[in-house]
Chains A and B, each alone.
Chain A
Amino acid sequence: MITANDFISDNLTMTGPDQGSSSPRRRILRAPFTRRTWDELAYSAASLLLALGALIFIVPTLVNGLLWALSAPGVRKLGAASRFLVRELLDEDVPAPPQLRSIVSYKVRTQDAARLAGSVAAAGGKIRVWETKPGVTVRKLPLDRITELAAEAGITIDEVQPQSAALNWLAGRILDPTTWRTRAYFVLKTPIAGLSLALAGGLWLGGLYLLTFPAWWELGRGGPAGVNLTGAFLLVPIGAAMLLAAPWLMRGTTEADRWLVRTLLGPSSPAERIRALEESRARAVDDSAARLRGIERDLHDGTQAQLVALAMKLGLAREKLHGTGPVDLVRITQLVDDAHRRAIETIAEVRTLARGIHPSVLDNGLADALTTLAARSAVPVELVTDIPERPSAAIETIAYFSASELLANVAKHSGARHATLEAVHVPGLLRIRLTDDGRGGAYPVPDGGLRGLAERVRTVDGHVTIDSPAGGPTAVTVELPSHA
């Protein structure tokens, strides 16, 4: 018994067009029996089924904007499934595009709408000028950049407010380029895959039929009209040729499909990616500068002040001891007591500060650190962790601070009686999710903890989702890439 695998050499997982160093004739002869051919056949069949299913899902949701928004995560999952098939069967690892996120836009009321629109557009922002009153809606630019541009151009801004969270959410899902590219992929892919599978299947089945035609002729006693025995044997090489050609036809169509997947299901153009990276790098630099300023402030206002006060107490006590008059032991004892208390407070402060710089509990991994964190929480926390592999240190740190910030928020604002903290690490993605049974209505305010958290998460291309209807429950999800 000869299996397909016996025919192929060590280049089992080659993905390029070159199949190794064997001669072209041998490659043509071997092609129908290589693992690659079978994988491509399996891919064609599976991806056609997926594409058909995807179209059944996509087409009805094209009706209106709300359905575009609601179907966006589903469409993206279908795209992810396609990438999975390509990775498993065609050995081509197409990187995932950026995650779905809300588009934050700002409503800017100003008399100078047209001029502001000009400078914002020049800075790469997207603009919609209002028709009924003077003002613009700006997206793709952060708030401070907008105000900076206005100041540079000498434009007075009467009022700025962020677009409502619901609209941001909708805009993010409706305008998400990845989702649209995925839809385009399935629309293009289905006919190609159908045609390819039909042609390849036809060549294979037809080739097998012709190859074995004499047997059919014998069985059929005379066979189809007009073919004699000689004719039947003449058909055999044609059948063989068809069998040999089928894999190459399929290879051609899977190559086309590969290209489609790379182009439409991968991250968008390098230029866009570079811009996104530049933005996140700028944010990371700003973020670390702000963090250093914060640490300096904490040291200056906290630790250093405490130590100065401590030194004052001790200085005064020493003066009293060395003084000329009678030694006032009661007063000295009081001063030393004060100094002692201050020293202990300072130690606690330094510990908190050090933990804020790098939590040493993280040395044993995120799961341990979160256990400690959950145990310290004022609100009872149920902890669920599934972290089979450690993410990179920077990601662990951000995940830890995120969890810490979220737990602090729950304790401070939610009025919750119970919370659940989940940390799940699947390849490429670390997800931290905190749910509580509190009063809900959580939203990021400027300079607030949630906003700071979102900013920090964005520095590594991560994403924060807040689901907190008034009345609760609240669920905040932080998604981080495994490696920064």
Chain B
Amino acid sequence: MRIVIAEDAAVIRAGLAEILADRGHEVAAAVGDAEALKAAVAEHRPDVAIVDVRMPPDHTDEGLRAAIAIRRDHPGTGILVFSQYVETRYAADLLRMCSGGVGYLLKDRVANVGEFIDAITRVAAGGTAFDPEVVSGMLNATRHASVLAALTGRERDVLALMAEGRSNSAIADQLVVSERAVEKHISNIFSKLGLPPSDSDHRRVLAVLAYLGS
């Protein structure tokens, strides 16, 4: 994969580049602010841009705004937002803008190299990768609490894993149930939330998250 990194902390930027290079990916550019990120994406046309939310000059949400701009100008680019904080609003913003090829991870996740690389691969392939903490933050912050209360405990577990971007078989492995059971739970969830049924993995994730984040 061809990747552009935007991260203002030099140590993390170097660490990310090292991990990605180690796994044989091409780090086309590693920059420290949002403007440089937009320029680098326009120049290198990466598969994925890894974007830190807080960057100079204001250290607020420059990265996120740049990510949304990139998505508008270069729709094929996967966006993996990378933050030290759980900001469910940012995640919801991203979801409203993008239909797939998007992710939001806490920086801690990168310590588990395998999962991190999986997440990037999913995003590059047009899928989703949401941090479990971001997902649970969105589930907690949702205004649809009464609807969530209607879900059984197991259904909520499935919903959380689904929201992270896991496939049915991954959810089945994780919960030690059959894939058939997972499908049944999912169809229950969809009907309880009043969402139209959908087959594609990331589509249904987006539907759920957009609903929760709205």
Residues of A in contact with B (beta carbons under 8 Å apart): 297, 300-301, 304-306, 308-309, 311-316, 318-319, 342
Whether B200 is near chain A, meaning CB under 8 Å from some CB there, is no
Would you give the shortest CB distance from A317 to chain B, in whole angstroms? Answer: 9
Cβ-defined contact, A300 with B15, below 8 A: no
Cα A311 to Cα B116 with chains together (Å)? 12
- How many residues of chain B have a CB within 8 Å of chain A? 21
Cβ-defined contact, B15 with A312, below 8 A: yes
Tell me which residues across on chain B come within 8 A of A313, comparing CB atoms. 15
Cβ-defined contact, B84 with A309, below 8 A: no
Cβ-defined contact, B9 with A312, below 8 A: no
Cα A249 to Cα B107 with chains together (Å)? 83
Would you give the shortest CB distance from A418 to chain B, in whole angstroms? Answer: 37
Cα A342 to Cα B111 with chains together (Å)? 14
Give chain B interface residues in 110-151, CB to chain A under 8 Å. 110-114, 116
Whether B33 is near chain A, meaning CB under 8 Å from some CB there, is no
Is chain B's binding surface mostly helix, strand, loop or mixed?
A: helix
A-B contact pairs, 9 of them (CB 8 A): A304-B107, A305-B12, A308-B9, A312-B12, A312-B19, A316-B22, A316-B113, A318-B113, A319-B114
Whether B108 is near chain A, meaning CB under 8 Å from some CB there, is yes
Cα A455 to Cα B115 with chains together (Å)? 48
Would you give the shortest CB distance from B81 to chain A, in whole angstroms? Answer: 15
* A309 partner, pick from B12, B54, B113, beta carbons under 8 A: B12
Cβ-defined contact, A312 with B111, below 8 A: yes
Cα A314 to Cα B19 with chains together (Å)? 11
Tell me which residues across on chain A come within 8 A of B18, comparing CB atoms. 312, 316
4 nearest CB pairs, A to B: A311-B111, A305-B9, A312-B15, A309-B11
Whether B164 is near chain A, meaning CB under 8 Å from some CB there, is no
Cα A342 to Cα B11 with chains together (Å)? 9
Other than A304-B107, A312-B12, give 18 A-B pairs with Cβ distance below 8 A. Answer: A300-B54, A300-B84, A301-B8, A304-B84, A305-B9, A305-B12, A308-B9, A308-B11, A308-B111, A309-B11, A309-B12, A311-B108, A311-B110, A312-B16, A312-B110, A314-B111, A316-B113, A318-B113
Whether B14 is near chain A, meaning CB under 8 Å from some CB there, is yes
Cβ-defined contact, B19 with A316, below 8 A: yes
Would you give the shortest CB distance from A16 to chain B, in whole angstroms? Answer: 60
Which A residue's beta carbon lies closest to that of B106? A308
Interface centre among A301, A312, A318 (most CB of B within 10 A): A312
Whether B74 is near chain A, meaning CB under 8 Å from some CB there, is no
Tell me which residues across on chain B come within 8 A of A314, comparing CB atoms. 111
Would you give the shortest CB distance from B82 to chain A, in whole angstroms? Answer: 10
Cβ-defined contact, A308 with B22, below 8 A: no
Which B residue's beta carbon lies closest to that of A301? B9
Knowing A319-B114, A342-B11 touch, does A308 contact B107 (C-beta < 8 A)? yes
| Cross-chain pair count, CB within 8 angstroms | 52
B172-214 vs A, Cβ < 8 Å mask (1 yes, 0 no) = 0000000000000000000000000000000000000000000
Give chain B interface residues in 19-68, CB to chain A under 8 Å. 19, 22, 54, 59
Cβ-defined contact, A315 with B113, below 8 A: yes
Cα A313 to Cα B11 with chains together (Å)? 11
Cβ-defined contact, A308 with B113, below 8 A: no
Would you give the shortest CB distance from B83 to chain A, in whole angstroms? Answer: 10
Give chain B interface residues in 68-116, CB to chain A under 8 Å. 84, 107-108, 110-114, 116
Cβ-defined contact, A309 with B15, below 8 A: yes
Tell me which residues across on chain A come within 8 A of B84, comparing CB atoms. 300, 304, 308
Which A residue's beta carbon lies closest to that of B59? A297
Tell me which residues across on chain B come within 8 A of A342, comparing CB atoms. 11
Tell me which residues across on chain B come within 8 A of A309, comparing CB atoms. 9, 11-12, 14-15
Cα A51 to Cα B154 with chains together (Å)? 90
* A308 partner, pick from B15, B54, B59, B112, beta carbons under 8 A: B15
Tell me which residues across on chain B come within 8 A of A315, comparing CB atoms. 19, 110-113, 116
Tell me which residues across on chain B come within 8 A of A319, comparing CB atoms. 113-114
Cα A342 to Cα B14 with chains together (Å)? 13
Tell me which residues across on chain A come within 8 A of B8, comparing CB atoms. 301
Tell me which residues across on chain B come within 8 A of A312, comparing CB atoms. 12, 15-16, 18-19, 110-111, 113
Interface centre among A304, A309, A314, A316 (most CB of B within 10 A): A309
Cβ-defined contact, B114 with A308, below 8 A: no
Which B residue's beta carbon lies closest to that of A335? B18
Which A residue's beta carbon lies closest to that of B11? A309
Which B residue's beta carbon lies closest to that of A314? B111
Tell me which residues across on chain A come within 8 A of B9, comparing CB atoms. 301, 305, 308-309
Would you give the shortest CB distance from B16 to chain A, in whole angstroms? Answer: 7
Cα A297 to Cα B54 with chains together (Å)? 11
Cα A311 to Cα B18 with chains together (Å)? 13
Would you give the shortest CB distance from B84 to chain A, in whole angstroms? Answer: 6
Cα A342 to Cα B9 with chains together (Å)? 14
Cα A238 to Cα B36 with chains together (Å)? 101
Cα A309 to Cα B15 with chains together (Å)? 6
* B11 partner, pick from A297, A300, A305, A316, beta carbons under 8 A: A305
Which B residue's beta carbon lies closest to that of A312? B15
Cα A312 to Cα B14 with chains together (Å)? 10
Tell me which residues across on chain A come within 8 A of B111, comparing CB atoms. 308, 311-312, 314-315
Would you give the shortest CB distance from A38 to chain B, in whole angstroms? Answer: 69
Cα A318 to Cα B11 with chains together (Å)? 19
Would you give the shortest CB distance from A207 to chain B, in whole angstroms? Answer: 82
Tell me which residues across on chain B come within 8 A of A316, comparing CB atoms. 18-19, 22, 113
Which B residue's beta carbon lies closest to that of A293? B59
Tell me which residues across on chain B come within 8 A of A311, comparing CB atoms. 108, 110-111
Cα A315 to Cα B110 with chains together (Å)? 8
Tell me which residues across on chain A come within 8 A of B54, comparing CB atoms. 300
Tell me which residues across on chain B come within 8 A of A301, comparing CB atoms. 8-9
Cα A311 to Cα B113 with chains together (Å)? 10
Cα A308 to Cα B11 with chains together (Å)? 9
Cα A67 to Cα B112 with chains together (Å)? 74
Would you give the shortest CB distance from A349 to chain B, in whole angstroms? Answer: 11
Which B residue's beta carbon lies closest to that of A346? B11
